[in-house]
Structure 1
Amino acid sequence: MSKTYDDVLMDWMFYREDKLQLFTDIKNHMKAVYLSDNKPMILAVSFGKDSSMVLTLFLEMLNSLTPAERQKKVYVISADTLVETESMASYVRKNLEAVGRIGKELGIEILLSAPNPKEKFFYNVIGKGLPAPNGKSRFRWCSGKLKLSPMNRTIEYILKQCPVDFDVVDFDATLLIGTRLDESVARANSIRKFEVSDYFSKHHTYEKLRVYTPIKTITTFDLWIYLENFVQVFPWGELVSELRAMYEDGKECPIVRSVNDKACGSNSSRNGCWVCLMSGRRDGMLETLIEKGHKDAPYLAEWKAFLFDVANDVRYREPLRRKEYRSHLSGVDQGEYTPITIFEELDPSSHYYHTFQRAKKGNENGEFRPGGFTITLRKILLEKLLYTQEKVGYTLIEEEEITSILEAWNEDGFEFSRKELQPVNHQYDGSIVFHPDWTLNTKETTNPNPIFYVEYKFKFGFDDMIAYIKERQQFMKDQIFCYFDHDDLVDDGIVWNKAVFVVAREDIQTQKEADEYVARWLYIDGAEALGADGKPFNKMVGKSKDAAIHHLLIDTLYEGLKLKKEMAS
């Protein structure tokens, strides 16, 4: 049976010296490690409870050394994901600056890592349309891009500074981290998996980097009792009570060493990233800030909830994944479509019938597995983010990142100018969610509007049909979700592809309105002409006109074949 906080408190009352000796032993061990070689030491800190404890004990150890003993290079490194709450980010910056001030005489260099432009959260979600990881995600990219890669670049920089020598020691530097066995089963297993001795383990990435976990046996209760009663003020001058308040606000996210570390969003660790969806729609950190009167928190919480709500809405997901688009478009000459004439001989043995490139519904198993966010949603998310930024009164996204996002959109064929993007408080009308078998997930679907399915037939092969749909998306700067399939009339020797569009909007209440909405999106080129009455109207030209004509011809043929069969029966 595990001990409660009161049990541990009683142990401290009756065995105080023994308890304090635990921390003295750690400092003595740190001293022995420090003096055992001339290799640099790296302290990875998030200024949460664990890394603050390691840094406290290490600085106390350093101050106990004589100037002659204190000759080793020490780096204190931290990661800024650029999406922490302002209170969390300012807390880390304040502590780093304080450590930097006292660290100059101790041989300490401060290094703060951050994502590069293509690793940033908003670039990936809004720029590239990459869905943000949530508790059910198979691909959790954010820790790797926002923390692990930036920290690895910092470590690589440090390792390059290490002098080349021929010592028998098989490492170039020692990395100190605050990982503890008491944190979680997963953390404990991770520590033991790479251990080479009681306190040292191999680094996941760098062979010449030794990982040192000096506080791994300290329990959470013992850690807090020591910090609050025997430290109270960190060696760099900040108050332990302020750190404790950060935990009450739920705003701490530890250092990540590998993509296997589930550092954020779980119950075992606090989360500082206000955009994180790992813990679900509700955010305990932001809710606590709201309760405490932080004026910015409601706007941050609203944007995050919006992102969570839209994540699985089929209307805002690409019908194919990026690599599937590339595969289909690689064999198509852009701007050249060659639909086969509808008046081919209706013969099941014809060359046309057997070689026609049939569209496939879903993934290789026929399942609904959508791609990334559509350009429609990406634009909505950015506009709502700009609105949120306007309301909180500080920078959430730099103009440089907005420029990178526009470049990413342009790479996908969507040209927007910065002037087209203005703060807009978009509201969400509720989700449309499918099961993998393409049936409507009524449990998770919350949209109150009627859902319409609009089918359009194409004599384009699958690649050409994808190219045509992609061209329409780029021209309209907007997307309507559709899935692809084909109809195969074996007896008549005819086949065609089709796109089935899913429409659910407040302003569309009938099938006819849905049909017209899709038709305008699918066929109107936007070129204006004057009608007989002298009024301008949009007309169909070029490929859109050809596609519309072939759709009508196929529909006519299909109805004729159906009537013929009905009469024969």
Structure 2
Amino acid sequence: MTGIISNLFEEQSNLVKEAREEIRRVYLSDDRPWVIGYSGGKDSTVVVQLIFDTLSKMPENELHKKVYIISSDTLVETPLIIQSINTTLNRVENKALKLGLPIETHKVQPVIEQSFWVNIIGRGYPSPNQTFRWCTDRLKIDPANRFVKDKVDTFGEVIMVLGVREKESRTRANVIKSHSVTGKELMRHSTLSNAFVYAPIKKFDLDDVWNYLLNNESPWGDDNYELYQLYSESNSGECPLVIDKTVKESAGSCGNSRFGCWVCTVVNEDKALTGFIQNGHDWMKPLLVFRNWLTNIRDDRTMRMKHRTNGQTYFLPVKTKVIDGIEKIIIDKKGSREKDYIPLDNFSIIEKKELKSYIKEHNINLSEGYDPLILIRDEDGNLNRFGLGGYTLEARKEILTRLLKLQKQLKHPDIENYQLISELELKEIRKHWFKAGDFEDGLPEITSKILDYSIDFEQDDRLVFSQEELNQLELTCQQEGLDFNLVKKLLMIEKDYSGLKVKRGLLEDLGSALKQDYLHL
């Protein structure tokens, strides 16, 4: 037994020694700067620590190029994780400066226009799931790529250094293999030109990672045992910094047993948040409650428009099942959530060719939350329901109201007045609400009612109607047989172009509004 343990330690020592030698050799081989992706987890911590250690032992004249350490802040990171990342980045930069190492740390964030809350609450995007995982590109890949492209523009080529391992999974091993060149340490980056990928720990397994961290002190003063404790408390793994759109699926969902966004709706259960709460971080319970609510409302048809944002309508075939002698419509739910069943007799069945007149006769607004219990019979005799689009404006207002109330009640143990959504995001959301027809300008009113402080919203000279004026406009549209939402959209388009000498695009925007599918069923 003693011999076996000795062999294991010797193999570990050799593996680390080889990694350090390779890092030094690759670093000295050219002048291309390195960009290290740091997620705050075990694998990326090993990479940063190995590189920091290696550079600190090299003579000053060999430290000839920059090493940039970037970490992705999606603006909705799990609070404990982003707090740990911020602390580490500060310590790394200060220690590197003290030792004269060419290391800089940077956080990359999504542009405000593409933040999670601007997309959900502003544009009305349905919360992400496995089939519509829009968040990875906007929150993680694009911010990292902007940083890399900036360095490519400056230096011509860069090398991305990532904590990916062949033994992490078969999928990851195949991805690494497909991008590798025989006999070379560097891999091709599949989507960024003039960028290459270096994986210094690709031969490490999970035991190698933890053995290294728990037997080698952090050179900048972190406690690697605290990182181990963080993993133990979260019941989860690491959320990698993803920089390649073609391999984002292999990275997995960061909400599925990984460090990632506290609001991740891709998975049914957020094991990281649950794990933290079970290990004593009770102050995070309201986050989990909100996250679960946001996950569930995705299936709530009363929260969703019955057409896409561009006005396109589509139909979904329905299935029926006889239960206790009653034929019922099967309502599927995403993931493993239980299906719902509604008696077929609850629905009105409408022939597709008669749908437009039925909607007009019953004054059905497909942009609102009301869910008409109708089934559409197509030319082949099959029954369908309206497919769902984004969240309605009323649903977006409810999400924002609940989020602001959560922000007000949340008691972060280390940060006073902890913000879940920024003022910049609120101002951007306000612009999208205008475009969606919120002529009452409801966002400033919502924030002033909930928050203990006032936000300096700029006076907007766009169309702002009183509720009485809007009611009169809606009544006029009904009397004239006009679509109220279409009239509001046309007014907003005209206002956007007013005052411009060159109104290029005006006719196209008007035409697009007039050709929306739901107007021509």
Q: Do structure 1's residue 277 and structure 2's residue 265 form an aligned pair?
A: yes
* Matched length: 397
CA gap of 1:423–1:417, structure 2 versus 1, over 3 A, is closer
Matches within 5 A, 1:274-353: 274-280=262-268, 282-325=269-312
- Which of 34, 46, 52 is equivalent to 2:27? 34
Preserved contact between residue 188 and residue 195 of structure 2 (Cα < 8 Å): yes
2:425 & 2:159 partners in 1: Cα distance? 35
2:377 & 2:434 partners in 1: Cα distance? 27
CA gap of 1:242–1:219, structure 2 versus 1, over 3 A, is same
Matching residue of 2:163? 178
Matches within 5 A, 1:257-272: 257-259=243-245, 260-262=247-249, 263-265=251-253, 270-272=258-260
Q: Which secondary structure does the structure 1 equivalent of 2:139 belong to?
A: helix
Q: Deviations over 1:308-363 (max 9, x none)?
A: 11001111111111123599xxxxxxxxxxxxxxxxxxxxxxxxx99x99989599
Given residue 101 of structure 1, which amino acid in structure 2 is its aligned partner? N
Q: Deviations over 1:253-284 (max 9, x none)?
A: 2111223324353697513210001221x322
CA gap of 1:475–1:423, structure 2 versus 1, over 3 A, is closer
Preserved contact between residue 67 and residue 102 of structure 2 (Cα < 8 Å): yes
CA gap of 1:18–1:299, structure 2 versus 1, over 3 A, is same
1:101 offset after TM fit, Å? 0.7
1:130 & 1:267 partners in 2: Cα distance? 18
1:157 offset after TM fit, Å? 1.4
1:96 offset after TM fit, Å? 0.4
1:159 & 1:93 partners in 2: Cα distance? 26
1:28 offset after TM fit, Å? 0.3
Q: Deviations over 1:424-472 (max 9, x none)?
A: 99xxxxxxxxxxxxxxxxxxxxxxxxxxxxxxxxxxxxxxxxxxxxxxx
Matching residue of 2:438? 414
1:293 offset after TM fit, Å? 2.9
Q: Which secondary structure does the structure 2 equivalent of 1:68 belong to?
A: helix
Q: Which secondary structure does the structure 1 equivalent of 2:168 belong to?
A: coil
Matching residue of 1:399? 423
Preserved contact between residue 81 and residue 146 of structure 1 (Cα < 8 Å): yes
Preserved contact between residue 362 and residue 369 of structure 1 (Cα < 8 Å): no
Preserved contact between residue 122 and residue 428 of structure 2 (Cα < 8 Å): yes
CA gap of 1:214–1:540, structure 2 versus 1, over 3 A, is closer
Preserved contact between residue 303 and residue 392 of structure 2 (Cα < 8 Å): yes
- Which of 88, 94, 103 is equivalent to 1:101? 94
Preserved contact between residue 387 and residue 424 of structure 1 (Cα < 8 Å): no
Q: Which secondary structure does the structure 1 equivalent of 2:105 belong to?
A: strand
Q: Which secondary structure does the structure 1 equivalent of 2:58 belong to?
A: coil
TM-score (norm 2): 0.70
Preserved contact between residue 295 and residue 392 of structure 1 (Cα < 8 Å): no
1:31 offset after TM fit, Å? 0.7
Moved over 3 A (4+): 9-15, 262-269, 356-368, 422-425, 474-477, 524-527, 545-548
Matching residue of 1:245? 229
Matches within 5 A, 1:192-231: 192-197=177-182, 199-228=185-214, 230-231=215-216
Preserved contact between residue 254 and residue 269 of structure 1 (Cα < 8 Å): no
Q: Which secondary structure does the structure 1 equivalent of 2:276 belong to?
A: helix
Matching residue of 1:188? 173
Q: Which secondary structure does the structure 2 equivalent of 1:210 belong to?
A: strand
1:129 & 1:26 partners in 2: Cα distance? 47
1:322 & 1:361 partners in 2: Cα distance? 21
- Which of 8, 26, 31 is equivalent to 1:15? 8
Preserved contact between residue 254 and residue 260 of structure 2 (Cα < 8 Å): no
1:46 offset after TM fit, Å? 0.9
2:227 & 2:474 partners in 1: Cα distance? 64
Preserved contact between residue 384 and residue 423 of structure 1 (Cα < 8 Å): no
Preserved contact between residue 78 and residue 262 of structure 2 (Cα < 8 Å): yes
1:267 & 1:414 partners in 2: Cα distance? 33
1:475 offset after TM fit, Å? 9.0
1:22 & 1:542 partners in 2: Cα distance? 77
Matches within 5 A, 1:75-224: 75-104=68-97, 105-134=100-129, 137-162=130-155, 172-197=157-182, 199-224=185-210
2:153 & 2:14 partners in 1: Cα distance? 38
2:159 & 2:201 partners in 1: Cα distance? 15
Q: Deviations over 1:477-528 (max 9, x none)?
A: 9xxxxxxxxxxxxxxxxxxxxxxxxxxxxxxxxxxxxxxxxxxxxxx9745x
Q: Which secondary structure does the structure 2 equivalent of 1:206 belong to?
A: coil
Q: Deviations over 1:360-411 (max 9, x none)?
A: 9599995542111111111100000001100114111111111111111111
Q: Deviations over 1:528-561 (max 9, x none)?
A: xxxxxxxxxxx9842323559xxxxxxxxxxxxx
Q: Which secondary structure does the structure 1 equivalent of 2:152 belong to?
A: helix
1:46 & 1:540 partners in 2: Cα distance? 51
Q: CA RMSD in A?
A: 3.3
CA gap of 1:546–1:36, structure 2 versus 1, over 3 A, is closer
Matching residue of 1:510? none
Q: Which moved more, 1:396-405 or 1:251-260?
A: 251-260
1:175 & 1:102 partners in 2: Cα distance? 22
Matches within 5 A, 1:536-551: 541-547=475-481
Q: Do structure 1's residue 58 and structure 2's residue 51 form an aligned pair?
A: yes
